[in-house]
Homo-oligomer: A and B are copies of this chain.
Amino acid sequence: MSSTFAIVIHGGAGTISKKEMTDELEKAFLQGLTDAINAGYSVLEKGGTAIRAAQASVMSLEDNELFNAGKGSVFTRKGIHEMDAAIMDGKTLGAGAVAGVRNIRNPIELAAEVMLNSDHVLLSGEGANEFALYRKLKIEPTEYFFSKTRYDQWKEARDSEDYVLDHNHEKSKEKRIGTVGAVALDSEGNVAAATSTGGMTNKNFGRLGDTPVIGSGTYANNRTAAISCTGHGEMFIRAVAAYDVSCLMEYKGLSLHEAMDIVVNDKLVKLKGEGGIIGVDPKGNIAMLFNSEGMYRGARNNMGLNETAIYK
């Protein structure tokens, strides 16, 4: 049992350059992070579970068009929005995930439905959308997901043929990736993790990243920690990044920070996997590490911590 409770969030990592950021935009991003933290914190403060808190924070980020998830999802090569999400409960090891869903207002809510109200863990594509209708999830018209910024990013990528088979990973990387996530510790000592994304701008061939992959983008276990990742998904899959942090803690006795440092700053760097990871353990230790220029992030607990940040 722990009396500490905490919420930690991220809104994506990458080449976030301060000089390309206006004061106004920076303010909006920080406000979005604060809103998301408060959404999760308010669940915890009322004695709610870690899983509900993580979900609430992610839903707040999904509803904010600044972040690449839910409303703010990027366009695929076909000019549509295909979203992925996953959630995991560290108490039960229950997990739910959806991949390639469309028109779902809050994919993280759908992932939670899969966890709680199906025999399955991972549903994909049209089938996952049918499950959403069956469970009466909130659907939005395609226009809801339109944003001028995402459209301009997509047009640029489309016209430069900067898509799946383009090996130039360096070009406008910052514009192409992004994920949101939250990890929470509740006052019962349970941890949970949730991650959601609109994927990669101009993605093709039904590409999926690490977000819906339990163990790679999302993992939670009361024995170790709750973990949510953001970055170059392919490398996070190959590294089984989220579960690796957990295993380094469980099997080598490392702290959350030590374990995450190895994964983010050594293993992922060797695979050229740019991005970041957030985590919280059942004792309330928090870590937010990234090997990219920046990571939208924030954390709040009942011991006085309350911060948001973008750059190193």
Identity of the chain B residue whose Cβ is nearest the Cβ of A166 in the assembled complex? B119
A118 close to B164 (CB less than 8 A): yes
List chain B residues, Cβ under 8 A from A233: 121
List chain B residues, Cβ under 8 A from A123: 205-208
* Interface residue? A171 (CB, 8 A): no
Chain copies in the assembly?
2
> What is the minimal beta-carbon distance from A19 to any residue of chain B, in angstroms?
28
A295 to B131, CA, bound (A): 32
B127 close to A205 (CB less than 8 A): yes
* Interface residue? A15 (CB, 8 A): no
A214 close to B214 (CB less than 8 A): no
B121 close to A206 (CB less than 8 A): no
> What is the minimal beta-carbon distance from A107 to any residue of chain B, in angstroms?
14
* Interface residue? A100 (CB, 8 A): yes
Q: Which of B124, B214, B247 contacts A251 (CB 8 A)?
A: B247
Identity of the chain B residue whose Cβ is nearest the Cβ of A124 in the assembled complex? B206
List chain B residues, Cβ under 8 A from A121: 233-234, 237-238
Interface size on A, residues (CB 8 A): 48
> What is the minimal beta-carbon distance from A260 to any residue of chain B, in angstroms?
15
Q: Which of B94, B124, B166, B243 contacts A208 (CB 8 A)?
A: B124
A237 to B239, CA, bound (A): 16
A128 close to B206 (CB less than 8 A): yes
B165 close to A207 (CB less than 8 A): no
B240 close to A205 (CB less than 8 A): no
A252 to B249, CA, bound (A): 11
List chain B residues, Cβ under 8 A from A167: 119
* Interface residue? A17 (CB, 8 A): no
Identity of the chain B residue whose Cβ is nearest the Cβ of A243 in the assembled complex? B240
* Interface residue? A213 (CB, 8 A): yes
> What is the minimal beta-carbon distance from A109 to any residue of chain B, in angstroms?
16
* Interface residue? A12 (CB, 8 A): no
B234 close to A215 (CB less than 8 A): no
Known: A118-B164, A125-B206, A240-B240. 8 other contacts (CB 8 A): A95-B238, A99-B208, A121-B238, A123-B207, A126-B206, A130-B205, A213-B215, A215-B215
Q: Give 14 A-B contacts (CB < 8 Å), ordered by A residue.
A: A94-B238, A118-B165, A120-B164, A120-B234, A121-B233, A122-B207, A122-B213, A124-B124, A124-B207, A124-B208, A125-B206, A127-B204, A219-B240, A243-B247
Residues of A whose CB lies within 8 Å of any CB of B are: 93-95, 99-100, 118-128, 130-131, 134, 164-167, 169, 204-209, 213-216, 219, 233-234, 237-240, 243-244, 247-248, 251-252, 271
